[in-house]
Amino acid sequence: MDLNNATSEPADCGSPVFCTIIPPHILDNLAQSDDPARHEPARRTLEHDHARRAQRREIAARDLTPGDPEAAAAKPNRTIYDARHQATVPGHKVHSESDGPVKDASVNRAHAGLGATFELYLKVYGRKSIDGAGLPLNATVHYGQRYDNAFWDGERMVFGDGDNDLFKDFTIPVDVIGHELTHGVTQYTANLDYEGQPGALNESVSDVFGVLIKQYALGQTADQADWLVGAELLGPNVTGKALRSMKAPGTAYDDDVLGKDPQPATMKGYVHTTGDNGGVHINSGIPNHAFYLVATALGGKAWERAGQVWYDVLTGGKLAKNAQFADFAGLTIKAAQARFGAAAEHDAVVKAWTQVGVTPK
């Protein structure tokens, strides 16, 4: 199998749907390692991901119309399955909503992470589950053998166990769970194309709400947060602190095997590439940094004001599927003014986009 061709094939987080947390450029680097203990899990992960992308059209053909929000219960309905190290979903049902903790820590963490995501969207934004209408939240743990990824496939969360060398169990970081489930929120709302700038916005929105879910769960203010994505995921043999940094894109890792974090913080560093669907995991650093600048300028709890503006844009019905950074920036400025008036929130949003070099439309 040609690994380069596998990772260059367009993957979708709109319709059809397949979104992974580990960027393909990291897996590509790992796949080239001389150490079989490292390149074999990476190559196996790439093969699995390629196969899942080939199946994504089955989900794309299904109707994604949400149910009735008024009839939906204001509580989660979670079910956890165990793939038992097979590359199949959903696997064997092992945990329902009413069940208590079990011996399997991955099951418990998946259950808790789904709940943390549901709680932020409900209590902060009044959204009942990711579709806004009480969609049951399903997850599969122990997917594949030493599978170095986690993904949202349009219907459920799927977690690999990692290789216990470079990556730990993917159920550990709650922001990773929140990131992937937010792809589901995007799927049911703006449904952003997964290529180029709209794809980078798709990834950025997931990073934004992933870190907000973590901050909400920890009760952190903007100045207390680390603004890292996947900080608990990297193994002890990695020179780095996370998968991405919203505070300082490009500094999350610099490792002999993983490579160096390629994310730019401003448009001056925008990466033009045909890989990674036009750099969706790379150029997302630019809107990520803009959100960080807004949140830290305003202070306090980032989900209350900065997060509210981003949520209003994502769900407001005016964000086009093919939106560019400038389009998104312009909508956040309008949303800030609509919700808060000509106040600090509006000024913080305008200044942030200016700092990252995006001229709003």
Does 350 score more than 60 pLDDT?
yes
pLDDT at 62: 42
Q: How many helices (H) and strands (E) does the chain have?
A: 11, 10
142 burial (CB, 10 Å; 0-12 / 13-18 / 19+) is: buried
The confidence score (pLDDT) of residue 43 equals: 72
Nearest to 184 by CA among 321, 17, 351, 6: 17
The mean pLDDT value for 220-227 works out to: 98
Q: Any idea how long the chain is?
A: 361
Beta bridge partners of 154: none
Q: Is 95 noted as a catalytic residue in this protein?
A: no
Quickly state the pLDDT bin for 48 (edges 50, 70, 90). Answer: low
Residue that is written with structure tokens 């349009």 in the block: 154
- Token look-up 């956040």 returns 332
pLDDT of residue 59: 41
SS3 150: strand
For 254-306, how does the pLDDT look when each residue is reduced to its tens digit (9 = 90+)? Answer: 998 889 999 999 999 999 998 888 999 999 999 999 999 999 999 999 999 99
Q: Which of 48, 95, 142, 281 is catalytic?
A: 281
Share of the chain above pLDDT 90, in %: 70
Is the alpha carbon torsion for 328, 23, 120, 304 positive or negative? Answer: negative
Q: Which candidate in 142, 180, 195, 203 is catalytic?
A: 180
**pLDDT exceeds cutoff 50 at 57:** no
Task: Write the pLDDT tens digit of every residue in 148-195.
Answer: 899 888 889 999 999 888 899 999 999 999 999 999 999 999 999 999
Of 341, 200, 212, nearest in space to 283 by CA? 200
Distances (CA, A) of 51 to 23, 87, 159: 16, 10, 16
Strands (E) in the chain, as ranges, are: 19-20, 78-82, 92-95, 137-141, 150-152, 157-159, 228-229, 244-245, 254-255, 259-260
Two tokens, residue 81: 């399955």
Q: What angle do CA 172, 139, 261 make, to 5 degrees?
A: 45
Which two tokens mark 123?
């209590």
DSSP state of 162: -
Per residue, what are the HEC states of 238-289? Answer: CCECCCEECCCCCCCEEECCCEECCCCCCHHHCCCCCCHHHHCCCCCHHHHH
pLDDT at 120: 98
Q: With a cut of 80, say whether residue 90 has pLDDT above it.
A: yes
In the block, tokens 């987080």 appear at: 13
Task: Answer yes or no: is pLDDT of 68 > 90.
Answer: no
* Predicted local distance difference test score (pLDDT) of residue 47: 65
- Closest-CA residue to 227 (of 239, 212, 238): 212
Are the C-beta atoms of 316 and 323 separated by less than 8 Å? no
| Alpha carbon distance 177, 108 (integer Å) | 13
Contact present, 189 and 136 (Cβ < 8 Å): no
Could you tell me the domains of the chain? Answer: 196-355 (1.10.390.10)
pLDDT value of residue 4: 35
Percent of the chain with pLDDT strictly greater than 70: 87
In the predicted model, is pLDDT for residue 17 greater than 60?
no
Give me the pLDDT at residue 65, please: 56
Whether 281 is a known active-site residue: answer: yes
| Greater model confidence, 18 or 298 | 298
Residues whose CB falls within 8 Å of the CB of residue 341, separated by 6 or more in sequence, listed in order: none
Mean pLDDT of 247-253: 97
pLDDT at 352: 98
- Is residue 16 predicted with pLDDT exceeding 60? no
pLDDT of residue 153: 85
